[in-house]
Structure 1
Amino acid sequence: MSASMSAPASPLQVGAAGLPPQSRAGGRMALAAVLLGFFTIMVDAMIVNVALPSIGRGFGSGMTGLQWVVDGYTLTFAAFLLSAGAISDRVGARQAFAGGLALFVAASAACWPAPDLGVLVAARLVQGVGAAMVLPSSLALLRETFPDPAAWTGQVAAVAALGGLTYAAIEAGADGFGAARVLIALAVAVVAAVVYLVAQARGRYPMTPLPLLRSRTMSLSVAIGFALNIGFYGMIFLLGLYLQQVHGLSALATGVAFLPMTALTSFMGSVAARLTTRFGARIPVIAGQCLMVLGLLAMVTVSAGAPVWLSVVLMVPVGAGGAMAVTALTALLLENVPAERAGVAGGVLNAARQLGGALAVAAFGALVADRAGFVSGLHTSLLIAAAAVAASVVATALLTPARRRPAPARTP
């Protein structure tokens, strides 16, 4: 069987049919858990972006506060993905999934009656932790887990590094990079990153084995995933604000405007799986990236007076292309790393993707903070996103395809 035929596609393509008969009922339940986990995480990312202008008006918050509402969730989601898989291995996938989902639901319930922005951001931070537990444990319900315990020093350092970097990026938009608190946050991020690397190099049970990162496939996949989320989540953040602040849409109408993109995106996993089976994973990754770039560049040409339906249409290739590229990229990565490192590799890739989304919100939020120059900042942000995804096309071309296994000899 060729490597492309054996490539894992997406959790959404894994069903109970391939399980032994006695396990099919459990397989269906596991599949339902995976769908619930992914649906919960994706809906949260979408619904908060749509509600941002309403949140800002309700709490009297500026752009910096709105950036923290989005990035508070993304930050802890990205950071705790690095060790959530190991925790799932230790306590069991079912327990980790149930605990993560319960934490997420409790934090969501705390968001609704939040009396001020500080409480809302704190609840969003907790939501991110719960989501980080849901994602890997839901996958572990379907496939064999890959035990690789993490050092809890490394986890603290990872949170500090990502938190310092995100804080600096958001606050620099308001105060400039020369502000004392921005410089302190950057220093914390650098020191924490060094501590993390040392912990991974010397620790007995590293969360991220450094030899894995020295793999060209791993490092390039991380860079590609990072760029893809800059384009995708950056676009969602920007368009949610644009439709409400420039076109005056309500939060409900803005949510409806996102529906065509969301509906098509949900089918792109199966499309990517078929293309991966037929052509290998690299082709659908590049095709998805190109769709994203074209959609982002087309959005730059849209003026403030253009009809809303044009923005709705142009969101579709960005979302569909991103879903195709991420699904195939995951398959390409997993078929090129040792089986015992598959769980760690997937966690690192997802953490990089979430970090890309968080930094996109931080940087783009600063560019559109001035209401008078919102459209100009929007176009600049979209150009940056398009450039990042275009650069990832080059990185994809450098990825080494998996070696094809020799066909078994036919018996006479």
Structure 2
Amino acid sequence: MNGGAGRLGPMTPSRRIFAGLSIGNFLVLLDTSILNVALPDVQRDLGSSSTALPWAAVAYTISFAGLLLAAGAVSDRFGARKVYAGALAAFAALSLACAAAPSIGALIGGRVLLGAAAACMVPSSVALLAGLFEHPGARARAIGVWAAVTSSGLLLGPMLGGLLVTAGGWRLVFLVNPSIAALALLLSRKLANPRPAQVRPLDLPGIALSVVALVALTYGLIDGGTNGWGRPIPWVSVAVAVLAGLALAVVERRVEHPVLPPSLVAHRDLDASIVAAAVATLVFYGVLYSLTLWLQGERGWTPLQTGLAFVPMTLPMCVLPIFAGRLVARFGARRVILVGLAFDVLAGALLLGATSGASIGWVLAAQVPLVLASTTVIPAATADVAVHAPAEVAGAAQGALNAGRQAGSALGVAILGPLAALPHVGLVLVGISVLAVLVAFAGRRPTPRSDQDRPQSVLATVNRWLTKA
């Protein structure tokens, strides 16, 4: 194997294999948003109550977030290739079950299982992607392209969902998944199934406690953020999450092979990347939710007008991560993360000036640093974890990263959603982002400057993929 800049890793990264991994994650994010526009049709067809209907959408998110850490441990134990392929096949089968759901309860149950399959796909696929590239620079660039492809699933979900519902009803939303999953399986079928020489046994008590903590936390934050905190349910859920987290900390000190391996926890720089990614996700989704309420409540905009107002913030997410990957390869993840978090501080500063008389242009201008922050911090943190996490815990590392991101999105809605004024949102945003900058700076890692660490361009890498395909 050759670790030179731009050289291919131990498993030749052809366009087919790379596309197979990217398409699988595209499918995961597609299903986080594709059902939302179909909910009115679901209610008419299944006779769902208004109370139960939203859970058809959020059940997927809760299950997905709650099982990410456990899925990472499973990936390390049984091999990322085997887990990824099995999860893709399960995702296709469960999508068919959701399409055939006879009641809202069956649909919600199917969405829970669908989220579990999605949770198994993400850490295993990123671990496989990292294994395709031996050189850190090539790996960082590839993750930038991967992030751009997968982000498009989140953005295309509402549009594709609307087209499918118009064409034949909500069940088509799920019937599109098996063909996408089959394509991803076909493209990635030649991947090997590398496993560490020393296989770590599963920490079943730790996995169970991590699932309880993450599911309870996500459920409580989503329920409280959307339905209010004046009821006991969200508070009880958060309390259960805290107790389970404390119990997890105690158990992890006593077991030989904890679900959060010491070799991962000991990496202060990786911990900082996980925190940075969680904060960037918190800020993005929290501000997105707050601006939605502000535009429709304070300015009286229609849902269509509001959606169009967010195009400048969401559309670049399909492109900018590619450049973030190049920046990470050139300057190192830590510098890119710090710059991205500084953009979050700038977005908060702009919102501080969004008083009641502020123009729409001033408010929407805050979208620019906000999207620059999310599209630099998250790909950079993902690349940092993929490059520097020990190989034997690569799945657990990606599980921890993505669990942090999912918890961050729920926290964003819970923390920023209830704030009545945009200057208050900006103040909280600045405070959280400054703290994240301090954490990221404390976990900084010296950047290699030798010539062999300077990667070739993205175009050169893509050209090699095309010729190897």
Equivalent in 66, 69, 94 of residue 79 of structure 1: 66
Which residue number in structure 2 is paired with residue 236 of structure 1? Answer: 288
Determine helix, strand or coil for the equivalent of 2:14.
helix
Q: Deviations over 1:61-80 (max 9, x none)?
A: 48x985x6665333322222
Q: Report the residue type matching 1:392 in the other structure.
A: A
8 Å CA contact 1:220–1:396 kept in 2: the answer is yes
Distance 1:265 1:88 in 2: 28
Summarize the alignment of residues 79-158 of structure 1 with structure 2, pairs less than 5 Å apart. 79-105=66-92, 121-144=108-131, 147=196, 148-158=200-210
Distance 2:34 2:116 in 1: 18
Which residue number in structure 2 is paired with residue 384 of structure 1? Answer: 428
Q: Deviations over 1:309-360 (max 9, x none)?
A: 7665543431232121122223344555444344322321221121111222
Distance 2:449 2:74 in 1: 34
Which residue number in structure 2 is paired with residue 10 of structure 1? Answer: none
RMSD (Å) for aligned C-alpha atoms: 4.2
Equivalent in 383, 390, 395 of residue 439 of structure 2: 395
Distance 1:196 1:270 in 2: 37
Which residue number in structure 2 is paired with residue 373 of structure 1? Answer: none
Q: Deviations over 1:284-315 (max 9, x none)?
A: 11111122332344345457887877665543
Which runs of 5 or more residues in structure 1 are unaligned?
7-13, 369-375
Q: Summarize the Cα distance change of 1:19–1:380 in structure 2 as closer, same or farther, 3 Å threshold.
A: same
Q: Report the residue type matching 1:249 in the other structure.
A: T
Which runs of 5 or more residues in structure 2 are unaligned?
132-193, 453-469
8 Å CA contact 1:74–1:358 kept in 2: the answer is no
8 Å CA contact 1:96–1:134 kept in 2: the answer is yes
Q: Report the residue type matching 1:291 in the other structure.
A: F
8 Å CA contact 2:127–2:394 kept in 1: the answer is no
8 Å CA contact 1:234–1:364 kept in 2: the answer is yes
Residue 249 (structure 1) aligned with residue 302 (structure 2): yes
1:141 Cα shift?
Answer: 3.7
1:223 Cα shift?
Answer: 2.3
Determine helix, strand or coil for the equivalent of 1:142.
helix
% same residue: 34
Q: TM-score, normalised by structure 1?
A: 0.74
8 Å CA contact 1:50–1:255 kept in 2: the answer is no
Residue 298 (structure 1) aligned with residue 355 (structure 2): no
**Matched residue pairs, number?**
381
Q: Summarize the Cα distance change of 1:303–1:291 in structure 2 as closer, same or farther, 3 Å threshold.
A: same
8 Å CA contact 1:150–1:207 kept in 2: the answer is yes
Equivalent in 273, 282, 285 of residue 337 of structure 2: 285
1:382 Cα shift?
Answer: 4.8
Q: Report the residue type matching 1:400 in the other structure.
A: R
Distance 2:101 2:365 in 1: 35
1:53 Cα shift?
Answer: 9.9
8 Å CA contact 2:60–2:112 kept in 1: the answer is yes
Distance 2:384 2:113 in 1: 32
Which residue number in structure 1 is paired with residue 16 of structure 2? Answer: 29
Summarize the alignment of residues 45-64 of structure 1 with structure 2, pairs less than 5 Å apart. 45-47=32-34, 61=50
Summarize the alignment of residues 310-389 of structure 1 with structure 2, pairs less than 5 Å apart. 314-365=366-417, 367=418, 376=420, 380-389=424-433
Q: Summarize the Cα distance change of 1:386–1:71 in structure 2 as closer, same or farther, 3 Å threshold.
A: farther
8 Å CA contact 1:30–1:141 kept in 2: the answer is no
Which residue number in structure 1 is paired with residue 255 of structure 2? Answer: 203
Determine helix, strand or coil for the equivalent of 2:215.
helix
Deviates more, 1:112-121 or 1:35-44: 112-121
Which residue number in structure 2 is paired with residue 159 of structure 1? Answer: 211
Q: TM-score, normalised by structure 2?
A: 0.66
Determine helix, strand or coil for the equivalent of 2:260.
coil
Distance 2:211 2:87 in 1: 18
